[in-house]
Structure 1
Amino acid sequence: MAMAVAAMKRPAADVADYFDLQLRFADRVAQASGRPFGELLGETTNLHRRFGFGRHDPAAPDPKWRDFVAGLSARPAPEDRLAWTLAAYDAAPPEPLPPDQTAFGVFACERADEDGQIRIHFHNLGDAEGPEGPLAHSRAPARRAELTAMFAHIAATQPEARRLAGASWLYNLEAYRRLFPPAYADSRTPCPEPHRLSGSSTWGQAVDHRGEVRPGMRERLLEGPLDPDAPWRAFPLQALMTKAPLAVFYDFYGVLRP
């Protein structure tokens, strides 16, 4: 059965460095490309989702997001931009789980598309059971239990589904891949470009499970190589795609097939 996940919101002080890094990265891309800073905020940061506005659609921006961007663009000083961003974050509701996803602990799955493919997501919720991250070896049994519950749910509620797919920087990590069937983990290939930076499939690598910016990441993104036409390449780990038939997962987790 699905596992309820309460909407979580870290204190502003805990996300300040992460938000500051994103703002400075967007500004760096803007200066390198000659494009407006405000226009790039929705493309090169995940603030739209962190503020609870869901997936970013530049053709139909949320009015509150439009106001936020206008205020941010009027503040050229980095410290003023960060203060404006943290104030907006404080005023925003906790980031909800997207309505098309069903949660199972740190994992979530979507409904199958018209081709019978389901997409899987990982949400870095931290770990309330101790200081270790959600991918620590000691937490592997809990993660596998969540995945087993997810595939039992899929088998029971989506018998038409045929395949599972993922796309994330996490597939670079053995600690993540070991949670899945080898056939799925070994299927990884580079995601086709361009990559979206409006979620966590790439930005997630910038912080640890406590939400703290990882050592060296600030220098890498703000001083390392940058192609303004392909800003995702500035990140050390690129997003990878994976997919496998659902039968592989049912066998791996001991779930009865539909």
Structure 2
Amino acid sequence: MSIDLSAAFFDLQLRFADAMVRVSDLSFDEVVLNFTNLYLQFIGRSFDPTHPVWQAYLAGLKQAPERATWTYDFYQRRRDSHAPSPYGCFHYSYLPEEHTIRYHFVNVDTSGAGPLSKERMPVRQQELKMMFAEIKQQYGDAPTVRGNSWLYNIDAYRRLFPARYTRNMKVVKDEFQYMSLWGQFLRHDGRVHGERVDDFLSCLQKADTLEGLVNCFPYHVLSPKGPLPCFTHSMKFHSCSKQ
């Protein structure tokens, strides 16, 4: 349930880490752990700097003649195969401590058209309808639904959801370890977005503060939040009450 990431995508993050070290008092090891998506790709959400797999990655990285190639090869050895989601490009997790549904988007559309193209919009909406029907069956109407992604900056993604749900979105910071931020550099086919990457790297070279580096990202991560009935009363999501 994931796309095949490329060496170029990892190179981008390593170069961001270099820039972070340049303008901060942080070590490279600290930056790679806390400001890239690498640990999550290799291990998961524990973010334990002493994890033996992570230590093996860092040891190899420091000796590798080509850091991006080493990182890509390490990723290929560690990546898990996942069963396809029954909801196509969407899947979700339930956070019991928050009584919240978090859903995620991954491009697994093989039609040849963009997964967020107008012709594929009915398919995406059907996937959402199926997913939220299952959520309602499992958890009732009580859970809150929360998204978290750079994609809400894009009309093609935002139009899949109720207008009131996405009207008052919060900017989320400190998403450096997640694809909700780094995914903006990937094209729908999994390759890096060349022009966007070039602009980002050019900005990194000129930035001389942490804030300046953060501002090099083209898009912020946005987070909408709303009640589950927004999504379950009708396919067109007309029942979303104002938050």
1:129-153 Cα shifts (integer Å, max 9, x gaps): 21x2211111111111110011110
Matches within 5 A, 1:6-155: 7-8=1-2, 10=4, 15-51=6-42, 53-58=43-48, 61-75=50-64, 80-94=66-80, 96=82, 104-125=87-108, 127-130=109-112, 132-155=113-136
Cα displacement (A) at 1:58: 3.6
Cα displacement (A) at 1:206: 0.6
2:150 maps to 169
Matches within 5 A, 1:169-208: 169-191=150-172, 193=173, 195-208=174-187
Structure 1: stretches of 5+ with no match in the other structure: 1-6
Percentage of pairs with the same residue: 34
Quick one: distance in 1 between partners of 2:98 and 2:10?
37
* 1:107–1:123 Cα contact (<8 Å) kept: yes
Quick one: distance in 2 between partners of 1:17 and 1:62?
25
* 2:41–2:79 Cα contact (<8 Å) kept: no
Give TM-score, length-normalised by structure 1: 0.80
Q: Residue 179 of structure 2: SS of its match in structure 1?
A: coil
Judged with a 3 Å threshold, the aligned counterparts in structure 2 of structure 1 residues 86 and 231 are, in CA distance, closer, same or farther, namely: same
Quick one: distance in 1 between partners of 2:105 and 2:228?
18
* 1:17–1:213 Cα contact (<8 Å) kept: yes
Paired amino acid for 2:89: V
Quick one: distance in 2 between partners of 1:27 and 1:56?
23
Structure 2: stretches of 5+ with no match in the other structure: none
Paired amino acid for 2:189: R
Cα displacement (A) at 1:105: 1.4
2:216 maps to 234
